[in-house]
Structure 1
Amino acid sequence: MPRLFGTDGVRGIFNKTLDVVEAARLCMAIGSYFAPGSRILVASDYRGGTEAILHAGVSGLISSGVKVYDAGKVPTPALQLAVRELGFDGGVMFTASHNPPEYVGLKLVGPDGVEVSDSVEEEVEALYFESKFRRASYTEVWHGVRKLEGVLDLYISRIVSLVDRDKIASKGYKVVIDPANSVTTHTSPEIMRRLGVKVITINANPSPQPSRPYEPTPDTLGDLSRVVRALGADLGVGHDSDGDRAIFVSEDGEIHWGDRSAFIIATHLAESGKSKRPRRIVTAVSTSEFVARAFKSRGFEVEYTAVGIKRLFEGIKRSGAMCAFEENGGFVYPEHLSIRDGGAKSALFLEAMAYSGEKASQLFSQIPRVYIVKTKIPMDRDKALKVVEAVREAYRGGDTINIDGVRVNLKTGWFLVRPSGTEPVVRIMLEAVSRDEGDRILNELLSVIRGVVG
């Protein structure tokens, strides 16, 4: 049976690979999975196609006999917190997260606030492909859609309570936030204000057309970097469209990948005594080898998983880890929520700065500077899998990790080649001790890939 769900939910290009008819049918399947009368919380981001997908999806849910509540435009972690804390049976977040603006999608959340397991996704897919929808009678759909107020305040208040507000406020920090014209416009600035931080925002007017690509990376956060430097800010924060990621810019304007900031937060949690969990972290196989070495030098155990929040969640449950993270800016602090949360990550990073008394750039200097390449090559999944196999064969006998694609650790660097779970591309991540060495490794790798794709 074909798959609908990828690494994190269902995504497609609006009116091409995911339209309102498919959204309605998918949500009929989701509603049919839950018991009749189940309470389902929905929310959405500001993408151009999301509103159409949302209304179609809600219609599908109602027609299957579940009760729908609408939290409005809120970040994914805010919906997830509300599902767990307010006793909902599940949730559906209408978003395509970091994907390009033409994409739409949804994430399915269980009663614990975490994305549902693979087995639940497979049950929903079976209902979808076999059209085994529960069709409620007209007397079962009188509930309609009810607005749920207070989700934003619940989320903001919870994050503020996670950290030492007085310690952060005493530093007089100035922070620039880039919400990518989406839902963290309503949360991250207010979180910072309640922490006593002076806030400046860019790209903060909600819009279906973002002023920059949704995915926060060094290539897309150039404006944020320039504003941080120009205003003498202490930190910059860039989010994706649904707020489960945060990438930071230090006061000198340098943009840092998420695994580097995760190292700073995790060592703060351990050394301040804030977390009583063992010095163990769970991270995606895409995390820097240089960051992993830094963790090990501070006495941490490092456990690798495949990319995706479900894999991180499973790793935390299995090992009792202090935290989990991905290089893309996702960070999981299980004493808050067992999901990625860009708002919580930002507050914890400020707390780490406040406790250390150091600037962001000084904290990041604990990790060696390296040459980084992150790129993607368009191709269908079948071809991407052939590329992975060719790379695996070319480096057979070396130090490899075959969890999600193939990762090769070298003396002077490392790289990962994997099929994307959200786009028809193969992703390449590479780090090396120098640009020359990085270019050499990349050219060698591309030669192997060209042998497959031509």
Structure 2
Amino acid sequence: MALFGTDGIRGRFGEFLTLELAERVAFAAAQLIPEHSRVLIGRDTRSSGPALEAALSSGFIKGGHEVVLVGVIPTPGLAFLTLEPGVALGVMITASHNPAADNGIKIFGDDGMKIPDEMEESIESWVCSSSVIVDSGTGRISADHEALERYIAHLKQSISSSLSGISVVVDCAHGAASTIAPRVLRELGAQVHEIATSPDGTNINKGVGSTHLAALQEKVREVQADLGIAHDGDADRALMVDRQGRLIDGDCILFALASSMSKAGTLDKSSVVTTVMTNLGFHKGMEKLGIRVEVTNVGDRYVLERMNAGGFALGGEQSGHIILRKLATTGDGILTALLILELVKASKVDPDQLAEIFPRYPQLLENVPVREKERALNDAEVIAAVAQAEAILGEHGRILVRASGTEELVRVMAEADTMERASQAVESLSALVRARHGI
């Protein structure tokens, strides 16, 4: 039974992700860290969060550890706190951009990074075995009511200038950023209009946030803000929109940060790390600036692994996960927004040019629900069709067909020098996958 996807454990609460499973995951993880360690547990705003918090706490307490509850906090905040002395693990209860009915578990090590594959495999092996939880009787639990304030202080110290004179709309998806993102922006001097900051446990990501930008686009145009910022449920990503409501995705954000850091001499090894989803236009634009692009699989954990291995300062994903290695150990949506706003304040970036900061190749993506995603990817007929589509596009585009790391989906992506060519490729390949493997 595979528990971990590309971003931890995630699924429907009460069906896949049960309280029993959560307790077993915690107890299994408890066996892999030193005795009597401190474990932090945070969560987003889903109604299932407190119950999962109790189940995870039980597993770690029975394993003999000290559980410290930090309450509702963005995922990057939990990762930041995990770096504090004496902390062995940080456990975040969230399903990120998924609907409220889902929830998940992300685990961070004492280095602030998501635990390695080997540790995930050890946890899976124990959870799926017939082993029984035995209470050590030595665990305990407490709450840290100042934890969030330490993360807020870190965010405010990450930029050196005031944001006065800048007008922003921030959409917090009724998630973990709902209280702190508007507060941090205001305390740094920005004029803030906020939407989706009233979580009720069931409305997280519902028609708002980084996967539903319409409300943000409308509000930005209404108040004529300089920029709109959209977070997802756990605030580990940020997408933006300009005054006209045009999307500023992770590729645009990464391009702006990379070019600015390159000019300032702070872009280590003149390189940036991104994923296979990054637009071809990004690669060509970086080449013109003399910046090398390192490519990884999709997932901010893989971006960070490459950054650490190569000593690179900056990396990110089209989806809005941006990592600055000297400031964070995972994608941080609030931090990303602050850094872009600082560039705007210093007139190093024109907010009206961010959406077109590099010449973008038309890119289309279709998600095809399938019965078994790995079987679909290994289908000889699908493989042959992909090869044929790639041959047709040649150097004028590319094809990427991959499995979702969190859902039973095959993602079919095409980029080409014209929208028509990209559309033809996506439509034909999606139709084939759907016909042979669709639900």
The TM-score bracket by the shorter chain reads over 0.9
- Contact 1:34/1:66 (CA < 8 Å) preserved in 2? no
Matches within 5 A, 1:38-187: 38-132=37-131, 135-138=134-137, 140-141=138-139, 143=140, 145-166=141-162, 168-169=163-164, 172-187=165-180
- Name the structure 2 match of 1:241: 233
Instruction: Quote the Cα distance in structure 2 between the aligned partners of 1:185 and 1:220.
Output: 16
- Name the structure 2 match of 1:394: 385
**Matched position secondary structure for 1:299:** coil
Which residue identity lines up with residue 207 of structure 1 in the other structure? D
Matches within 5 A, 1:306-321: 306-321=297-312
Which residue identity lines up with residue 174 of structure 2 in the other structure? N
- Name the structure 1 match of 2:354: 363
Instruction: Quote the Cα distance in structure 1 between the aligned partners of 2:393 and 2:115.
Output: 32
Matches within 5 A, 1:425-444: 425-444=409-428
Instruction: Quote the Cα distance in structure 2 between the aligned partners of 1:428 and 1:34.
Output: 40
TM-score, with normalisation over the residues of structure 2? 0.93
Which of 268, 275, 279 aligns to 2:260? It is 268
Deviates more, 1:387-396 or 1:376-385: 387-396
- Name the structure 1 match of 2:340: 349
**Matched position secondary structure for 1:293:** helix
Offset at residue 134 of structure 1 (A): 6.0
Q: Is 1:277 equivalent to 2:268 in the alignment?
A: yes
Q: Is 1:324 equivalent to 2:315 in the alignment?
A: yes
- Name the structure 1 match of 2:25: 26
Residues 148-190 of structure 1, C-alpha deviations (whole Å, 9 max, x = no match): 1222221122122222223x43xx0011111100110122112
Which residue identity lines up with residue 7 of structure 1 in the other structure? T
- Name the structure 2 match of 1:220: 212
TM-score, with normalisation over the residues of structure 1? 0.90
Residues 61-84 of structure 1, C-alpha deviations (whole Å, 9 max, x = no match): 111111100011000111111110
Offset at residue 211 of structure 1 (A): 6.3
- Name the structure 2 match of 1:418: 402
Gaps of 5+ in 2: none
- Contact 2:368/2:434 (CA < 8 Å) preserved in 1? no
Which of 171, 192, 211 aligns to 2:185? It is 192
Aligned residues: 438
Offset at residue 370 of structure 1 (A): 4.5
Instruction: Quote the Cα distance in structure 2 between the aligned partners of 1:313 and 1:349.
Output: 20
Offset at residue 122 of structure 1 (A): 1.1
Instruction: Quote the Cα distance in structure 1 between the aligned partners of 2:90 and 2:116.
Output: 14
Residues 286-306 of structure 1, C-alpha deviations (whole Å, 9 max, x = no match): 111121221122111111111
- Name the structure 2 match of 1:17: 16
- Contact 2:175/2:205 (CA < 8 Å) preserved in 1? no
Offset at residue 451 of structure 1 (A): 5.3
Instruction: Quote the Cα distance in structure 2 between the aligned partners of 1:146 and 1:110.
Output: 20
TM superposition outliers: structure 1 runs of 4+ over 6 Å: 397-400
- Contact 1:98/1:215 (CA < 8 Å) preserved in 2? no
Q: Identity percentage over the alignment? A: 30
Which residue identity lines up with residue 110 of structure 2 in the other structure? P
- Contact 1:266/1:322 (CA < 8 Å) preserved in 2? no
Instruction: Quote the Cα distance in structure 2 between the aligned partners of 1:183 and 1:195.
Output: 20
CA RMSD of aligned residues (A): 2.3
